[in-house]
Amino acid sequence: MAAMRERMTEYIESLQREIVAALEAADPTAPPFNRRAWDRAQGGRGVSCTFTAPDHPSSVLEKAGVNISMIHGQLPPAAIKQMATEHASLADRADSGTGSLPFFAGGISLVIHPRNPSVPTVHANYRYFEITEANSGEPEGSPPKIVAWWFGGITDLTPYYLFEEDVMHFHRALKEACDAHGPQLYPAFKKSCDDYFFIKHRGEHRGVGGIRFDDLCDEPHSLLADDSTPRPRKADEIFAFVKACGNAFLPSYLSIFERRRGSPVDEHRRRWQLIRRGRYVEFNLVYDRGTKFGLATPGVQAENVLMSLPETARWEYMSDVGTEEGSEEAKMLEVLRNPRDWV
């Protein structure tokens, strides 16, 4: 069987094609996504599929990106040491100060910002990380020995108006994908998602959550109660789980997208959407680890890191929108302040 990095690459390539095709089919009169393949001088490549059409105000999408990258290089000792806190398999290497080790990171990352305030924004990413032995003279073409590996992933929804049945549908689809691989995965990963997407200075969550996990491998996992929790444990099993989550993305989101895309829009609803998009910007720039890490990495294109930001956002000082008791906006805020169980 092919190495995991190749199987993951093949999977995210096909998932990207499938998601972009589905979005283009849903919005046939809009310009197509802009497909751009790139190579990384230091090793690796990627394909960005982005939608940005400021001169096309009738498109259902406002801004979107569905990007994949498969990069490799040398991981410095400091990074190995940091990763060793979550991965016992790296502890020896970190202690002995072996120097750099080769790594591979492959993943898909997407953000969809539709124009209509009744259609939620959605974000997802699934990734595989691998550290291998420094080349120890294997014959050409034979795979390097793996020192450590893990999968990570997120899918989360950010509505501007609350349609409870939409949120329930979204969470149910993710729960189904999880449950087939272990009944304790969804509750643990749902909580991790709520905890992560919290805008501390506002006391609000970014949206209504979804699932989030990191460092999922054959070692004990920090989000699961104990090491005997039934869960995917071998690389093949975890890969199957990650594919189930990735495959659940379109079913979890697309029917909401279709159901709400024709909802009435007025200035008030649009204004509220843009105020909430300001909060999205606040989360991404102040707290999001991926964004912070991306912006601090030399040589990274800021435009790709900041692809996740909405096309427009508003900041009104002490805005009165959302303060009226019983309003649609106040109902949304209530849920953002107090995450619920949706299934």
Cβ-proximal residues to 124 (8 Å cutoff; 6+ apart), any chain: 108, 109, 110, 153, 154, 155, 156, 246, 249
Closest separation in Å from C-beta 317 to a copy of itself: 4
Q: Which is nearer to a copy of itself, 178 or 307 (CB)?
A: 307
The answer to whether 158 and 206 have CB atoms below 8 angstroms apart is: yes
Q: Does 285 bind a copy of itself (CB under 8 A)?
A: yes
The answer to whether 207 and 200 have CB atoms below 8 angstroms apart is: no
Cβ-proximal residues to 95 (8 Å cutoff; 6+ apart), any chain: none
The answer to whether 60 and 261 have CB atoms below 8 angstroms apart is: yes
Closest separation in Å from C-beta 203 to a copy of itself: 9
Active-site residue, selected from the candidate residues 123, 169, 171, 181: 123
Q: What are phi and psi of 39, to 5 degrees?
A: -115, 145
H helices of 64-163, in order, are 77-84, 91-96
Closest separation in Å from C-beta 333 to a copy of itself: 14
Q: Return the residue of 307, 332, 335, 336 that touches a copy of itself, per CB under 8 A.
A: 307
SS3 20: helix
Q: Does 30 bind a copy of itself (CB under 8 A)?
A: no
The whole-angstrom separation of Cα 72 and Cα 114 is: 33
Closest separation in Å from C-beta 303 to a copy of itself: 5
Q: How far is CA 139 from CA 60, 136, 231, in A?
A: 52, 9, 36
Q: Which is nearer to a copy of itself, 128 or 272 (CB)?
A: 272
Q: Which stretch binds a copy of itself (CB under 8 A): 168-176, 218-226, 231-239, 302-310?
A: 302-310
Q: Return the residue of 42, 295, 324, 340 that touches a copy of itself, per CB under 8 A.
A: 295
Q: Does 312 bind a copy of itself (CB under 8 A)?
A: yes
Enclosing H/E stretch for 175: helix 164-179
- Burial zone of 343 (CB within 10 Å; 0-12 exposed, 13-18 middle, 19+ buried): middle
Binding mask 64-93 for a copy of itself (x = CB under 8 A): -x----------------------------
Q: Does 324 bind a copy of itself (CB under 8 A)?
A: no
Closest separation in Å from C-beta 32 to a copy of itself: 14
Terminal CA-CA length for the chain: 38
201 an active-site residue? no
Binding mask 191-230 for a copy of itself (x = CB under 8 A): ---------xxx----------------------------
The Cβ-side half-sphere exposure at 86, using a 13 Å CA radius, reads 17
Q: Return the residue of 57, 289, 318, 338 that touches a copy of itself, per CB under 8 A.
A: 318
Q: What are phi and psi of 55, to 5 degrees?
A: -95, 15
Q: Does 310 bind a copy of itself (CB under 8 A)?
A: yes
Q: Does 38 bind a copy of itself (CB under 8 A)?
A: no
Closest separation in Å from C-beta 240 to a copy of itself: 33
Q: Does 278 bind a copy of itself (CB under 8 A)?
A: yes
The whole-angstrom separation of Cα 47 and Cα 36 is: 6
Q: Return the residue of 266, 303, 325, 341 that touches a copy of itself, per CB under 8 A.
A: 303
The whole-angstrom separation of Cα 205 and Cα 115 is: 21
Q: Which is nearer to a copy of itself, 80 or 307 (CB)?
A: 307
User: Which chain residues interact with a copy of itself by CB under 8 A?
Assistant: 50, 52, 54, 63, 65, 200-202, 271, 274, 278, 281-282, 285-286, 292, 295-296, 300, 302-303, 305-307, 309-319
Which residue numbers are catalytic? 123
